[in-house]
Structure 1
Amino acid sequence: MTRTPPTTVARVRLWRWRRNPLRRHSDVVEAWIVLAGWVLALAVGILAGLVAARTSASGFTARQARVHPVSAVVTSDAARTPAASDGYGDDRVWAVVRWTDRDGSVHTDRAKVVPGATAGSRVTVWTNRADRIVPAPLVGSAADLQAALTGALVAPAAGALVWGAGWLVRDRLIRRRMAEWDAEWKHIGPRWGNLSGGRG
């Protein structure tokens, strides 16, 4: 007994763009929606990434203009080991420091210093306009890297939103096409049955 080889169905690529008797207007519209969705997703993603990177870089520059470094003195010996629950991800410890601003006013605040820093040690801290110690601003390559990472994260997110909107439009079009097919079958189906019965 010979086996009949399985029938393989060749997938026709780009069939919505080719002229054929089974292609409908909705198929062409769907093809354009898919193409436009990908193009817009790519364009919007790149544009959003560039804007986010530039905005982030501008924010770093603006923050740097609002703070300034000062030389402070550690007022008492700092701990030799960082606290286990510090949560800052570095090896520095908290200590009280004192500094004098430009008008001669003396200020004290807590800052991160190297473990074991002795009283009288000088450290550089960053302060804001209210004379409070703030984290050092990102500058140079660190700021450039952070801005680039921000753009790299925003770009695919923005592109995905645009692609998702295109997918929703396409899904609605498919549902509409299925409804049209169902309505046509309800109209033609009984006639098809009568033709089949007449031939029998």
Structure 2
Amino acid sequence: MNRTPPTTVTHVRLWRWRRNPLRRHSDVVEAWIVLVTWALAVLGGAVAGLAAAQTAGSAFSARQAQVHAVSAVLTDGAAATPASGSGYDDGRVWATVRWTDAHGAVHTDRAKVQPGAPAGSQVTVWTSRAGRVVSAPVTGAAADLQAALTGALVAPSAGAAVWGAGWVVRTRLIRRRMAEWDEEWKQIGPRWGNLSGGRG
């Protein structure tokens, strides 16, 4: 009577963590590598994301402390429409403005203003400590949102980097195990043929 071998293979969950005669030391090491990799990927990603968000928030606060708003006057009338090919178009135009700082020194620079504003119009511009016009700092809800988005982008990137490192280590371990199996089969294979009735 011939016995038909089973056609399905039952998958044993967490077999690397259970004692069995087929489990090798490398299997246990691989199981720990997978566990530690996932733990570090999740925790490391979360920590990196929070750190990035805090760093971005601190950078916004630091920049806000380095610039200040001043009231300036347009020296000439602003153009009615933005010049073509001027890059990012936010609907404003470049114009020359003049202001007096807290020490009484007069400064002149170019700033973005509303189109068509006549000469002598009062505008608010942001200036640096060196007396140059700079872009307005990101503050309030916009700063919080950008900091949160920075953290949200960094977190998965950091987690993926950790996971990738773990994958490399695990791949090398698998290759090493396969090489060990090949060496063992070279020794056992010929004897297996003899035990099964084959001619060696």
Is the pair's TM-score, using the shorter chain for normalization, greater than 0.5?
yes
Measured in 2, the distance between the counterparts of 1:89 and 1:197 equals 84
Residue 161 of structure 1 pairs with residue 161 of structure 2: yes
Give how far 1:162 is off.
0.9
Q: How does 1:23-172 map to 2 (within 5 A)?
A: 23-172=23-172
Secondary structure of the 2:85 match is coil
Structure 2 counterpart of 1:59, one-letter code: A
Name the structure 1 match of 2:12: 12
Give yes or no for contact 2:82–2:89 (8 Å, CA) kept in 1.
no
Structure 1, residues 27-53: CA drift from partner, whole Å, max 9, x if none? 111011101100001111010111111
Secondary structure of the 1:124 match is strand
Structure 2 counterpart of 1:78, one-letter code: A
Give yes or no for contact 2:53–2:147 (8 Å, CA) kept in 1.
yes
Give how far 1:15 is off.
2.0
Structure 1 counterpart of 2:189, one-letter code: G
Secondary structure of the 1:48 match is helix
Structure 2 counterpart of 1:130, one-letter code: A
Structure 2 counterpart of 1:102, one-letter code: A
Secondary structure of the 1:104 match is coil
Secondary structure of the 1:57 match is helix
Give how far 1:195 is off.
1.8
Measured in 2, the distance between the counterparts of 1:55 and 1:184 equals 54
**Structure 1 stretches of at least 4 aligned residues deviating more than 4 Å after TM superposition:** none
Identity percentage over the alignment?
76
Give how far 1:115 is off.
1.0
Measured in 1, the distance between the counterparts of 2:91 and 2:37 equals 48
TM-score, normalised with respect to structure 2: 0.92
Aligned length: 195
Give how far 1:160 is off.
1.0
Q: Give the CA RMSD over aligned residues.
A: 1.7
Deviates more, 1:63-72 or 1:189-198: 189-198
TM-score, normalised with respect to structure 1: 0.92
Structure 1, residues 87-140: CA drift from partner, whole Å, max 9, x if none? 224111101111111111111100000111111111100111110001111110
Give how far 1:83 is off.
2.4
Measured in 2, the distance between the counterparts of 1:172 and 1:79 equals 65
Give how far 1:63 is off.
0.8
Give how far 1:198 is off.
5.2
Give how far 1:150 is off.
0.8
Q: How does 1:179-194 map to 2 (within 5 A)?
A: 179-194=179-194
Deviates more, 1:190-199 or 1:124-133: 190-199
In structure 1, runs of 5+ residues without a counterpart are none
In structure 2, runs of 5+ residues without a counterpart are none
